[in-house]
Amino acid sequence: MSSKLIIHATNVHQGGGRTLLDALLGQAPGGPVTALLDSRMALAQGVAQGIDIVRVKPTPMARLSAERWLAANTGSDDVVLCFGNLPPLFKLRGWVRVFLQNRYLIDKTPLANFSLKSRVRISIERRWLSGCVGHVDEFIVQTPTMKRLLDEKTHGQPPAHVLPFVTDKQHYSRGIGAGATARTACQGRFVYVSSGEPHKNHRTLMKAWCLLADEGLFPSLQVTLDATRFADLCGEIDVMRARHGLHVRNLGHVPHSEIRALYADADALIFPSTLESFGLPLIEARQAGLPVLASELDYVRDVLDPEAAFDPYSPYSIARAVKRFCGNQEPSLPLLDASEFMNYIVKKGRLSCES
């Protein structure tokens, strides 16, 4: 019997994972291929042609049944790609590769800001990964930072390899150029393409926009938040927008096919996320020749050199980066020499002083 490829992706149906899985299914190799997919994972017409699709409902019992199916139907010559971060629940006879792109599973980042449901899910998945790491022959990650974190957790066994892939690798470089036209004029139009999980850091970003408004600066910002999934966050943004007169617009969920048009209409991507396994919008913005203002963190430097970097935990740092990019420089400190300082000290009474 000939070997086959089994793509196990029962917990992928949205975000960057969905985008990459779509691209992968469109590149099926010769030979038999079976894909176990979440029932919510919609496929474009023509994608996954020639692939045997097995739909799995997003319930614990259906997921368990899929794991049992995988154990029963994997032959010794087969290759299994687990595309949903987690190893097989049971030891398989074939060669098992796990594509790991959820940094929360290997990072020690606290989960306090997540909902109870999300905390429970991530905690279970962390235990699943740790308990079933022996079922993996090889991990695949997207960046050197993810490899370092994973190696620290697994002590390098099984080995992890850095194999970053995107839907289209054309026009990518660490800096603006390489086939893309750099934009130099800034009209204060920013875009942030992301979902609304806590690590995406929208609240700190909005505080930065409020600080800018307090200085009489009103750059525009477009975000892509699903108003149903992130209702509380969208409500907070609405309050800030009304209170400070912010030029912030939520576009809602934007299909990946329309993202490039957002980049074409912006002066820069701003990306204040505090934690990423890859950061696909960073790659896509660079391919579009769009300047990037991003967190000064390892995951950013893994993939590009931003035009401006900031401390993602400080709204003041974010606001200053935006001002610099738009040509609004911070005033210099009103330095004194020792003589001027002493003259102030010896004077009696309260004097006005620039702060």
Q: Are 78 and 101 in contact (CB under 8 A)?
A: no
Nearest-angstrom CA–CA distance, 34 and 50: 9
**Distance, CA of 193 to CA of 196 (rounded, Å):** 10
pLDDT for the residue numbered 113: 85
Statement: residue 182 has pLDDT above 70:
no
pLDDT tens per residue across span 301-352: 999 999 999 999 999 999 999 999 999 888 888 888 889 888 888 886 665 5
Distance CA 54, CA 247 (A): 45
Express each pLDDT in 105-133 by its tens digit.
Answer: 999 888 888 889 999 999 999 999 999 99
The per-residue pLDDT for range 187-222, each reduced to its tens digit, is 799 999 999 999 999 999 999 999 999 999 999 999
Percent of the chain at pLDDT > 70 equals: 94
Given strand 308-310, what is the order of strands in its sheet? 247-250, 220-223, 189-192, 268-271, 292-295, 308-310
Q: How far apart are CA 71 and CA 179, in angstroms?
A: 47
Q: Is the peptide bond before 158 cis (omega within 30 degrees of 0)?
A: yes
Assign 355 a pLDDT band (cuts: 50, 70, 90): very low
Stretch 285-298: mean pLDDT, rounded?
A: 95
CA angle 328, 317, 106 (to 5 degrees): 145
Closest by Cα among 175, 217, 221, 170 to 194: 221
Contacts for 266 with CB less than 8 Å, ≥ 6 apart: 189, 190, 191, 222, 290
3-state DSSP assignment of residue 150: helix
pLDDT at 34: 95
| 232-255 residues labelled b (16+ CB within 10 A) or e (exposed) | ebbeebeebbeebebbbebeeebe
pLDDT in tens, 252-262: 999 888 999 99
Distance, CA of 12 to chain centre: 15
pLDDT of 349 reads 62
Cα torsion for 333, 339, 340, 342, to the nearest 10°? Answer: 110
What number of other Cβ atoms are within 10 A of residue 148's Cβ? 15
At residue 5, the 3 state secondary structure works out as strand
Residue 3: per-residue pLDDT: 87
Per-residue pLDDT for 179 more than 60? Answer: no
Q: Which domains are assigned to the chain? A: 5-162 (3.40.50), 189-325 (3.40.50.2000)
